[in-house]
Structures are given as structure tokens and as C-alpha cells.
């Protein structure tokens, strides 16, 4: 950018001393633009200061505010601009205010470069940083107002910087020379402490101001309203806009990152809530089966005891089943906890057919009352390394779903068939039914949490089952059973028989 700006004085040099007539009317527009740009930059710097509490940023913000506020009295006292309003002041007032701006801003930049970014205690513990910033703005505004008022009130005693409305006196040449020295000092100081993007762009700003001085005071011979003077003013406006644009872009980037962070946090929170809902629903779903069995067996035991001749043996058998289901409920809780903790330490070698047989024996009573044929075609043994409780829940879920599916069938046999095979290094289990099957338009959703085809269903069984199977390195999917019903397939890695010991007793 500096390279492009260096070309400007080279192009403007032949025309720098030309004085086009009637350009005074553009002074208010330039002043309004400079005021707006510099005060907006100050506002953004104060906003950043409210977050990181950097003293150097406070100095830079004050510098931009100081320069922006002084533009107002500079424009109001500019010779020939507001003459109709009777606001023409002494010839020297405008030049003195210009000198204040020219020398004041680089002093603030030097302060920015030299102040260490250590947060002082006098505003570190302030509860309202907004009040502190407001106080700093009032101080800067009071200082600029006071300096401008002193210049107006003591106009007769001001140094002679101007010979007439356009030409400067010899004394003025000390002002640009001092400004150049301050700009160079600021550049050197920032270079030594260069640590941020803002530092680099401030160096561009100071470089641009040096070119402005070159155009106004040397190529244009400090003649007001000349081509060189106007080109310098425009460069000054560009330099003032640089930091504003940088801060706006950085603010947009920060806002975008903040929005993404908030969105990510919201999604993470929703995911945690969904996981908690899934966990609680999974527990409720899996516990409902042993609880239902306990209620059924307890009711049967009561009926045996209420007979005219109590059937104590049958009641005792029902109570044993209640105890068994109570232990199974406890094991279900442990299995779900281990699943969500991804804890595989409780996996052990076992014949998968034993788990299938245990589930089918428990289901016989329900299927017998519902006139459902429960068939088994087990090829064994089929050794696997699994968490037996979790795997029992999977098989139990699939069998229970198939039993529910065929319960509504009236025009054909109600059959649930469980088959197991060894195939290509895997153990394959198929749970088939002759129910109505699953509609094609919802097949992609049957493993989603909280989706169920049953009015009273919670929609957690298949999701829970797939999670268990995949956590064991297998797969679970569904296909059609021709001509009626559905088949659920699951695979698990086959385990060498020599390492297999049956650690899980029949239930």
C-alpha cells in the first residue's frame, strides 16, 4: 500500500503549486469526513480497550479522538469558508489549530508505542469500565475545547504562521519539520515493539502522513488550497481511514468467530441434552422388559396362591422368575452404563447361542399365550467376545420387536425364527418374522433415536441395539422377509474356540 501511495507525490509534483479557484467549498466536506472517520476509529479503539484494558490502546484512542475533535474548530475558523456566517477568526487561529493536530496525533502514537501493556490497578478493579471510558472521552473533549478556546481568545498573541489566507510565514516551516521528526520517532518505536496487525497498519498510517507532509509543506510549499495541499489532505483522510477499516474488518472477524463459537456451544449443549435424553430413554426402555416380566410373574404367583388349593410350587416358581428378572434389571443398568462409558473390560468369551437360547426361553411364555410360533435354527457353537448383558439386551430387543410385529397378524401363521451361522469369519444372527414388515419410506429412520412405529414405543431399542453391536465391532441392519415380514441381521467378530470359556450361566 505504501508503494502505491509513494507514486502519488511523484504524479502530483508537477502540479503541486497550482491553485485552482473556488475550492474552499470542499473544506467542510473534508472536515466532516475526517471528523467521522477519526471519531469512529476512536470509538472502536475504546471498545477494544473495554475488553483487554490495554493502556496503549487507550492512548491511541485518545489520539484519534483528539485529532477528530480539533477538525471542527479548524474548519469553522478556516478563512473564507464560513464568512457568510460571520465566523471568520484571526488568520493565525486556523494555523495554530492545524499545528495542534499535526503535532498532537504523533505524540499520542508515540505514547501508544512506548507505554507497556500492563493493566494499571486504578481501572483493573473498576466495576464499570464504561464510566471510566466516558471519563476519558470527557477529558479529551475538554482538552480540545480548551485549546481551541485559548487560540480564539488569545488570537492577537498567537505566533505568526500565516502571511495571508494562502501563504505561510517562515515560522510555520518548523511545524512540518517537527511533525516529520515525530512521525519518524513513532515509526521507529512501533517497529521496535511490532507485535500485532494494528502495529503494522499504524506504520502505514505514519508513512502516509509523511507523504502528506511532503505534498503539503514541501512540494506544495505549504500554500493553502493548492493541488499539493489538497492531495496531501486526501492522503491524510486515507491514512485516517486505514485503521478504521482494519478495526472494522477485525471486528467482523471476531463477531463471526463469536457467532460460530456460540453456535458450536449451543449445538454441544443440545447434543449433551439429547445424549441425556437418550440415556434416560434407553434405561426406561430396557428396564420396561424385566419389569413387565416381574409384574406378570408376580400376578401369576398371586393367582396360584389364591386358588382354593394353593399351588405353592407354581407360586414359588413364579417368585423365582421375579427374582431372576430383578437381577436382570440390575444387569441392564450396568450394561447401559458400560456402553456409555465405552467400557469394554467386562467383555468375555461366550457362545452366542447360549445368549440366544436364554432369551428364547424367557420369551416362550409370552409367545405361547399369543399363539406365536418361536423357532430356533442355531448352528454352533459360535464363540464371541462380548458383554453378555448388553448382547442379551440386543437379542431380547430384536425378538420382542418381532413378537410385537406378528401379534397383529390374523391371516397367516405367526412365526418368529432366530437363526445363527458362521460366515466369512463373522458370526451372523438373523431374527425373522412374518409380520407386516417395515414401509420403505421409513426404513432409513428405524435406527434413529425416539423414532418408533408403535404408538407406545419410545424409539430407543433399535438405536440402543445398533450402538451395542457397533461398539463390539459388528453391524446391525434390516431386510425384507419374503413374502411377508422383516429380517434383522447382526454380525459379530468370530472368536477362536480354543480361547472360549462359557462365563455366563443360563438364565
- Give backbone dihedrals phi and psi of 223, rounded to 5 degrees, phi first: -80, 125
Residue ranges of E strands in 87-191:
none
CA–CA separation, 21 vs 201, rounded Å?
Answer: 35
Dist. CA 257–CA 16, nearest whole Å: 46
Q: Confirm if 77 and 89 have CB atoms less than 8 A apart.
A: yes
Q: What are phi and psi of 503, to 5 degrees?
A: -100, -10
Give the global pTM.
0.52
Distance set, CA 483 to CA 236, 436, 446, 479 (Å): 85, 10, 21, 12
| DSSP annotation of 32 | H
Task: For the chain, 507 residues long, give each residue's pLDDT as a single digit of tens.
Answer: 555 555 655 555 565 567 677 777 888 888 888 899 888 888 888 888 887 778 888 888 899 899 989 999 888 888 777 664 445 557 788 889 989 988 998 899 888 888 865 545 445 555 578 888 888 899 999 999 999 899 888 888 888 888 877 788 888 888 888 988 998 998 888 888 766 777 777 787 888 787 777 777 766 666 777 776 777 777 777 777 777 777 777 667 766 776 777 776 776 666 566 656 666 666 676 677 778 778 888 888 888 888 877 888 888 888 888 887 787 777 767 666 665 555 445 788 999 999 999 888 888 877 777 788 889 999 878 899 988 888 888 998 899 888 888 888 888 888 999 999 998 889 999 999 998 888 888 888 888 776 677 665 556 678 888 888 988 889 999 998 888 899 999 999 988 765 444 544 444
Distance CA 120, CA 303 (A): 83
| pLDDT tens digits for range 455-470 | 655 566 788 888 889 8
DSSP state of 168: B
The C-alpha cell at 53 is 484494558
**Helix then strand then coil, % of the chain, to nearest 5:** 65, 10, 25
- Rounded to 5°, the CA angle 476-481-485 comes to 95
- Note the pLDDT tens digit of each residue in 26-39: 888 888 888 998 88
Residue 75: name the closest of 87, 63, 66, 65 by CA. Answer: 87
Burial class, 421, CB count within 10 angstroms (exposed 0-12 / middle 13-18 / buried 19+): middle
Grid cell 431399542 — which residue? 461
d(CA 105, CA 237): 14
Amino acid at each position: 500500500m505504501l508503494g502505491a501511495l509513494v507514486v502519488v507525490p511523484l504524479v502530483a509534483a508537477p502540479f503541486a503549486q497550482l491553485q485552482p479557484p473556488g475550492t474552499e467549498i470542499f473544506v467542510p466536506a473534508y472536515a466532516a469526513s475526517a471528523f467521522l472517520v477519526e471519531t469512529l476509529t476512536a470509538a472502536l479503539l475504546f471498545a477494544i480497550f473495554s475488553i483487554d484494558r490495554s493502556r496503549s490502546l487507550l492512548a491511541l484512542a485518545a489520539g484519534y479522538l483528539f485529532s477528530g475533535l480539533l477538525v471542527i474548530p479548524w474548519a469553522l475558523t478556516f478563512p473564507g469558508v464560513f464568512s457568510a456566517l460571520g465566523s471568520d477568526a484571526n488568520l493565525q487561529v486556523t494555523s495554530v489549530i492545524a499545528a495542534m493536530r499535526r503535532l498532537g496525533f504523533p505524540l499520542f502514537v508515540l505514547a501508544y508505542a512506548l507505554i507497556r501493556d500492563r493493566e494499571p490497578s486504578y481501572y483493573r478493579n473498576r466495576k464499570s469500565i464504561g464510566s471510566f471510558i466516558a471519563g476519558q472521552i470527557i477529558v479529551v473533549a475538554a482538552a480540545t475545547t480548551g485549546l481551541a478556546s485559548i487560540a480564539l481568545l488569545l488570537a492577537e498573541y498567537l505566533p505568526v504562521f500565516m502571511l495571508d489566507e494562502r501563504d505561510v510565514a517562515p515560522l510555520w516551516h518548523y511545524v512540518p519539520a517537527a511533525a516529520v521528526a515525530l512521525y519518524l520517532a513513532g515509526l521507529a518505536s512501533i517497529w521496535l515493539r511490532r507485535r500485532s496487525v494494528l502495529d503494522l497498519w499504524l506504520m502505514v498510517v505514519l508513512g502516509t502522513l509523511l507523504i502528506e507532509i511532503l505534498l503539503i509543506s514541501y512540494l506544495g510549499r505549504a500554500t493553502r488550497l493548492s493541488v499539493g495541499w489538497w492531495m496531501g489532505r486526501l492522503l491524510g483522510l486515507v491514512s485516517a481511514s486505514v485503521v478504521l477499516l482494519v478495526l472494522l474488518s477485525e471486528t467482523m472477524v471476531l463477531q463471526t468467530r463469536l457467532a460460530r463459537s456460540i453456535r458450536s456451544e449451543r449445538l454441544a449443549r443440545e447434543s449433551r441434552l439429547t445424549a441425556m435424553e437418550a440415556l434416560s430413554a434407553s434405561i426406561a426402555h430396557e428396564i420396561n422388559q424385566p419389569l413387565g416380566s416381574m409384574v406378570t410373574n408376580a400376578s401369576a404367583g398371586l393367582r396360584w396362591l389364591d386358588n382354593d388349593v394353593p399351588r405353592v410350587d407354581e407360586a414359588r416358581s413364579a417368585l423365582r422368575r421375579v427374582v431372576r428378572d430383578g437381577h436382570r434389571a440390575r444387569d441392564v443398568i450396568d450394561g447401559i452404563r458400560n456402553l456409555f462409558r465405552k467400557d469394554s473390560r467386562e467383555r468375555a468369551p461366550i457362545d452366542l447361542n447360549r445368549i440366544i437360547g436364554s432369551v428364547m426361553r424367557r420369551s416362550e411364555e409370552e409367545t405361547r399365550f399369543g399363539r406365536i410360533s418361536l423357532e430356533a435354527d442355531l448352528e454352533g457353537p459360535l464363540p464371541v467376545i462380548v458383554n453378555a448383558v448388553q448382547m442379551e439386551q440386543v437379542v431380547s430387543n430384536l425378538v420382542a420387536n418381532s413378537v410385537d410385529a406378528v401379534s397383529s397378524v390374523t391371516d397367516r401363521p405367526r412365526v418368529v425364527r432366530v437363526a445363527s451361522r458362521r460366515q466369512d469369519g463373522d458370526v451372523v444372527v438373523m431374527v425373522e418374522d412374518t409380520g407386516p414388515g417395515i414401509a420403505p419410506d421409513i426404513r432409513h429412520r428405524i435406527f434413529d433415536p425416539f423414532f418408533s412405529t408403535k404408538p407406545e414405543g419410545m424409539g430407543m431399542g433399535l438405536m440402543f441395539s445398533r450402538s451395542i453391536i457397533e461398539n463390539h465391532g459388528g453391524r446391525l441392519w434390516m431386510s425384507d422377509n419374503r413374502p411377508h415380514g422383516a429380517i434383522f441381521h447382526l454380525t459379530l467378530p468370530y472368536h477362536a474356540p480354543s480361547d472360549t470359556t462359557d462365563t455366563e450361566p443360563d438364565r
